[in-house]
């Protein structure tokens, strides 16, 4: 192996996620699927979200528990219990009037499944999405992790149907496969989105563990608007919350965030220990994990706190109703350049220009800069926005350990001190040897 290839292999191997995966056993019983309940006839859309009956959520969990029990004790990727779980959720949604799609992928020699359900109607260019991973670990039924999130969003989706909700925005729900192996299903979904499909998803809400037996109330802190939406809801019902700060890469919101999509979500805690300060505000047991059965065989339907599951499910409904019925913002003026520009490896900066006209006054304080750069090892890249008067705004610094490919995202720039009309430039420089790429296109939205 040449030094060049060795260096590249070394750089790449440094960040690989160890994935010692058990062989997939095949012997299973066919799970008996319940006849899906007939959804109530359409009712007038409700202004505010309805209460989500926690008994309904627990009934879904009972079904997932039965499926695991009938299939070797788990609902893991590549096992019959996972596919039976998908079939159960899909049947409920089909009966409730959703447009469902089963998207397959392969991981570790086994077929994985993502289930996507679209509620017909709403402006598809403004899509609000809620998702949960449906797979368990191989070592248990995964009722809290993550039957709870899966059942919570399922019941909210069914409540949308029961209400005959006619949202201004398009509602989409997703159940992910193989999260436990590194967000494999959700990464596959996001990577399969076109630039237009990506930019149409204006919020992705993730729910992974929402019924922990010694619960906390954690709100993802990745996006101010979505963060505040949940914090305000919980303070309205007198429940204190804390930011979820365990790290962005811990669940299926990560691929969406990496693609520049605003993300939010809720979490009731896993293997970390509840402090006495947390116990004083939330109840439960200090010095004990939020979920002592995390990734264990005891993560059964008995491993759920009903109050947490109820509150979290109601919060999900509140978010879906609120975001889904917001009036869509007036479309901004978009200027785009889709001429490819090659980026020389470890070479001089290159630019791509957009001439803006017909926009009065200065650029906005939240100028949207959509970037589509195809480039392996994106850590090599430094990216700047250059205003017509030559002022430069740093969008991305280089990084020695960002091994991911491509920069496909939307930056928000406070360009309010710049006159809008004139020629704007996207300036890109590859500052490290070996990997190369191209500016595929970029756009400005005023």
Q: Cβ of residue 272: shortest distance to ligand DTR, in angstroms?
A: 8
Active site residue 179: yes
Q: Read off the tokens for 367.
A: 């100028």
Shorter beta-carbon distance to Zn ion: residue 75 or 443:
75
d(C-alpha 317, C-alpha 440), whole Å: 39
Sole binder of Ca ion in the list 52, 116, 171, 190 (CB under 5 A): 52
Q: Build a one-symbol-per-residue string for 23-42: x at contacts with Ca ion by CB under 5 A, - elsewhere.
A: --------------------
Q: Read off the tokens for 345.
A: 């490896």
Q: Does 145 bind Zn ion (CB under 5 A)?
A: yes
β-bridge pairing 422-430 and 169-176? unpaired
CB 53 within 8 A of CB 154: no
Sole binder of ligand DTR in the list 75, 78, 85, 145 (CB under 6 A): 145
Residues of this chain, 202-221, that bind Zn ion according to CB under 5 A: 208
d(C-alpha 285, C-alpha 73), whole Å: 28
Shorter beta-carbon distance to Ca ion: residue 179 or 310:
310
Handedness of CA 79, 254, 225, 121 (dihedral sign): negative
Sole binder of Ca ion in the list 180, 314, 372, 435 (CB under 5 A): 314
Q: Which does 310 bind (CB under 5 to 8 A by kind): Ca ion, Zn ion, ligand DTR, none?
A: Ca ion
Angstrom CA distances, 267 to 219, 239, 264, 341, 368, stand at 6, 14, 10, 43, 30
CB 84 within 8 A of CB 66: no
Q: Does 306 bind Ca ion (CB under 5 A)?
A: no
Of 162, 165, 126, the residue nearest 38 (C-alpha):
162
Q: Which does 52 bind (CB under 5 to 8 A by kind): Ca ion, ligand DTR, Zn ion, none?
A: Ca ion
Angstrom CA distances, 378 to 398, 407, 408, 437, stand at 8, 7, 10, 9
Shorter beta-carbon distance to ligand DTR: residue 208 or 435:
208
Tell me the number of residues near ligand DTR by CB under 6 A. 12
Q: Does 244 bind Zn ion (CB under 5 A)?
A: no
Question: Annotated catalytic residue: which of 155, 179, 244, 418?
Answer: 179
Q: Cβ of residue 54: shortest distance to Ca ion, in angstroms?
A: 5
Sole binder of Ca ion in the list 26, 30, 34, 51 (CB under 5 A): 51
Angstrom CA distances, 428 to 2, 230, 346, 431, stand at 29, 38, 11, 10
Which sequence positions are flagged as catalytic? 179
Interface residues with ligand DTR (CB under 6 A) are 145-146, 179-180, 208-209, 244, 246, 250-251, 267, 270
């Amino acid at each position: 192996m040449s030094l060049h290839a060795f260096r590249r292999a070394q750089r790449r191997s440094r960040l690989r996620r160890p994935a010692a995966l058990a062989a997939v056993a095949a012997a299973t019983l066919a799970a008996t699927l319940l006849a899906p309940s007939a959804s109530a006839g359409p009712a007038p859309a409700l202004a505010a979200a309805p209460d989500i009956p926690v008994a309904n959520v627990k009934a879904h969990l009972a079904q997932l528990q039965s499926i695991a029990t009938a299939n070797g004790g788990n609902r893991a990727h590549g096992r019959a219990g996972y596919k039976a779980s998908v079939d159960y959720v899909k049947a409920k949604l089909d009966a409730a009037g959703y447009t469902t799609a089963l998207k397959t992928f392969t991981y570790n020699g086994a077929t994985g499944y993502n289930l996507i359900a679209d509620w017909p109607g709403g402006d598809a260019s403004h899509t609000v999405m809620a998702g949960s991973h449906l797979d368990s670990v191989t070592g248990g039924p995964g009722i809290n992790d993550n039957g709870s999130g899966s059942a919570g969003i399922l019941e909210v989706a069914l409540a949308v149907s029961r209400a005959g909700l006619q949202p201004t925005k398009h509602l989409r729900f997703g159940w992910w496969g193989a999260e436990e192996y590194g967000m494999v299903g959700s990464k596959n979904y996001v990577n399969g989105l076109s630039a237009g499909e990506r930019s149409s998803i204006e919020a992705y809400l993730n729910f992974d563990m929402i019924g922990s037996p010694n619960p906390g109330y954690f709100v993802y802190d990745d996006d101010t608007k979505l963060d505040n939406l949940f914090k305000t809801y919980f303070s309205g019902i007198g429940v204190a919350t804390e930011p979820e700060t365990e790290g962005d890469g811990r669940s299926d919101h990560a691929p969406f965030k990496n693609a520049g999509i605003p993300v939010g979500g809720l979490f009731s805690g896993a293997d970390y220990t509840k402090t006495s300060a947390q116990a004083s505000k939330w109840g439960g047991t200090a010095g004990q994990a939020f979920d002592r059965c995390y990734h264990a065989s005891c993560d059964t339907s008995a491993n759920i706190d009903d109050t947490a599951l109820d509150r979290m499910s109601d919060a999900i409904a509140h978010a879906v109703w609120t975001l889904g019925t917001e009036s869509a913002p007036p479309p901004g003026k978009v200027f785009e350049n889709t001429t490819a520009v090659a980026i020389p490896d470890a070479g001089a900066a290159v630019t791509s220009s957009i001439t803006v006209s017909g926009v009065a006054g200065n650029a906005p304080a939240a100028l949207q800069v959509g970037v589509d750069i195809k480039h392996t090892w994106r850590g090599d890249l430094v990216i700047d926005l250059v205003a017509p008067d030559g002022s430069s705004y740093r969008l991305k610094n280089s990084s020695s350990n960002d091994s991911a490919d491509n920069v496909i995202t939307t930056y928000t720039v406070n360009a309010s001190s710049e006159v809008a009309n004139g020629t704007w430039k996207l300036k890109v420089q590859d500052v490290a040897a070996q990997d190369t790429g191209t500016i595929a296109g970029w756009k400005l939205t005023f």
